[in-house]
Structure 1
Amino acid sequence: MQDQGIELDKQGESQVVGGQVRVATQRRTSPERMEADRLLYERLRLADFSGREMKRLREDLWVYGWNVMRAWMRDGTIIAKCRERGVFVDARYHEVETLMRRGDIRDEIAHGAVESAVKTFTEMFLPKRWDPDKGATMRTYFTRTCMFAFRDAFKIWSWSYRRRLSTAAAPFAPVPFDDFDQPSPGLPFEDSAVLRETIQRIMAGARPQARAICGLIWEGKVSQKEIGDELGMTSRSVEGHMRRLRTRAKALAAKGEIEALYRGACAPKGGSR
């Protein structure tokens, strides 16, 4: 599904407006909108929150939540918007960049979040908690429900994503520099120690993505596209991480802080490149 542009209308709510994102000039809730929600709530209450009108409300909230969540993920503002409403999401900057780049990941997270939010709002919050006298429209209340659901859906996705990075980065996980009791296969003990220490010095402070990229190269994945597909990155992003590591390695070698590695010691396990 294509991302839809949204704007905040005069009632302070997001509205689909084709393919662009606009900024509202007003944020107050109009008496007309609140009265419409009040009348709708009364009809739903009399119908015991079931029937055709309740079904239409669920469908409307689904589309609304889907467009809002995807638009905010696409423009990278969703974490800040959640924080403004008291919903704190444990997101790393590179994960936000991934949300901005990858429509398939936005789909995955938005689907889980909106599905949960619609169920929670229509089955719990609307019948038992939402109060039109407190000034928040149904959509405003539902948007915050979506934020909490996004936090939970993002946590599930990011846990899996971070585990994938960690697994890929395992060959280059930080270890003490004096831990060389297990030589690398095929290398004399002294060369193995130099190799491992040199790699650890180059990788010191490296980002998780860079460690994961190096881990996949070590295992024989040498195509930037292949690596990017596995880690959810573009080929350009993969090259950027490797360029920074090469720059660091050259600087360390120029200062005499590492020994230049000979080609045979650096070959990945998968064979020739």
Structure 2
Amino acid sequence: MVLIQSIYEAGMKGVRYDLLIDELRRYGMRVLRAALRDGRIFTWCGVGSRAPVFATADERRVLHTSPEDRDELALETIANAIVLFHESLADREWNPERSSLHTYFIGACKIAFPGVYRRWSRERASRLEEYGYGHTPEVLGVELRALSPSPEAMAVDTDTLRRILRVGSPEARMICRLILTGYNQAEIAEKLGITTRAVEGHMHRLRKRVEKMVARGTIDAPYTVGRQTASRGLHAAKAAS
């Protein structure tokens, strides 16, 4: 309380205030990164909160696996929360008997998060839609055949292609589409907002899943679809190996 009193006396500015904000920013990043990774943030900002926010299963998966997306959301949320925290502190709304400053700041983050998240979700869906994000395996199967440079390059029957696409992540499906459009790994990573290593990872996992499908007899191995794919289940994976 002595610290806050000195901050009030300094007009909510100065070295002590800056140090407090830096500490809260670091603390907020640790808390938000963890909450985004394990999905707790959606419990905090779910039913009963000021502005409930709901995430799709795919968005939760992305935040669990993507440090870049977690950092993007955490940084913007904290930037907005600092403004709310400053205004609230200036209005003397913080009660030290009810919560610590750290807990109070996380409360500001919870208020700021829904707006930040909805904007991220809209922009992500809009940015990725042209690459096939959200398209069903059936629709993507048709698109991939249309993009294929020759019938021989996509010598796999429609049903097999759809089965392969169903086991791939949304990113793997988009990567296949972009590969057939002629983009390399670096270009694909830039368009999807992920790293080249992530591109490789998505395609590696797709090949492994297709290998298991072939081993179980779920699909036949179409050997004419790109010899360098470990699964030989999808020509599009060749450029990612």
Q: CA deviation at 1:105?
A: 6.8
TM-score for the superposition, normalised by structure 1: 0.59
8 Å Cα contact 2:85/2:105 also seen in 1 = yes
2:173 counterpart residue number: 211
8 Å Cα contact 2:164/2:210 also seen in 1 = yes
Question: What is the DSSP-based 3-state SS (H/G/I as helix, E as strand, rest coil) of the residue aligned with 2:91?
Answer: helix
Distance 2:181 2:63 in 1: 24
User: What one-letter code is carried by the residue in structure 2 that aligns with 1:129?
Assistant: E
Distance 1:77 1:112 in 2: 15
Distance 2:39 2:11 in 1: 30
**Count of paired positions:** 215
2:24 counterpart residue number: 65
Distance 1:147 1:171 in 2: 28
Task: Give the 3 Å change call, closer, same or farther, for CA 70–105 of structure 1 in structure 2.
Answer: same
Task: Give the 3 Å change call, closer, same or farther, for CA 231–200 of structure 1 in structure 2.
Answer: same
Q: CA deviation at 1:267?
A: 6.4
Q: CA deviation at 1:73?
A: 5.3
8 Å Cα contact 2:29/2:78 also seen in 1 = no
Q: Rg bigger for which structure?
A: 1
User: Is 1:98 paired with 2:70?
Assistant: no
Deviations 1:139-160 (A, max 9, x none): 3212221233244324422432
Question: What is the DSSP-based 3-state SS (H/G/I as helix, E as strand, rest coil) of the residue aligned with 1:175?
Answer: helix
Alignment RMSD, CA only?
A: 4.2
Distance 1:73 1:215 in 2: 33
TM-score for the superposition, normalised by structure 2: 0.65
Distance 1:259 1:82 in 2: 42
Question: What is the DSSP-based 3-state SS (H/G/I as helix, E as strand, rest coil) of the residue aligned with 1:168?
Answer: coil
- Name stretches of at least 5 consecutive residues in structure 1 with no aligned partner: 1-34
Q: CA deviation at 1:239?
A: 2.0
Question: What is the DSSP-based 3-state SS (H/G/I as helix, E as strand, rest coil) of the residue aligned with 2:168?
Answer: coil
8 Å Cα contact 2:81/2:112 also seen in 1 = yes
Task: Write 1 or 2 for the structure with the bigger share of helix.
Answer: 2
- Name stretches of at least 5 consecutive residues in structure 2 with no aligned partner: 47-52, 227-233
User: Is 1:36 paired with 2:15?
Assistant: no
User: What one-letter code is carried by the residue in structure 2 that aligns with 1:208?
Assistant: P
Q: CA deviation at 1:233?
A: 2.8
Q: Name which of 181, 184, 188 aligns with 1:222.
A: 184
Distance 2:213 2:43 in 1: 46
Q: CA deviation at 1:216?
A: 1.6
Q: What are the equivalent positions in structure 2 for 1:229-240 lying under 5 Å apart?
A: 229-240=190-201
1:257 counterpart residue number: 219
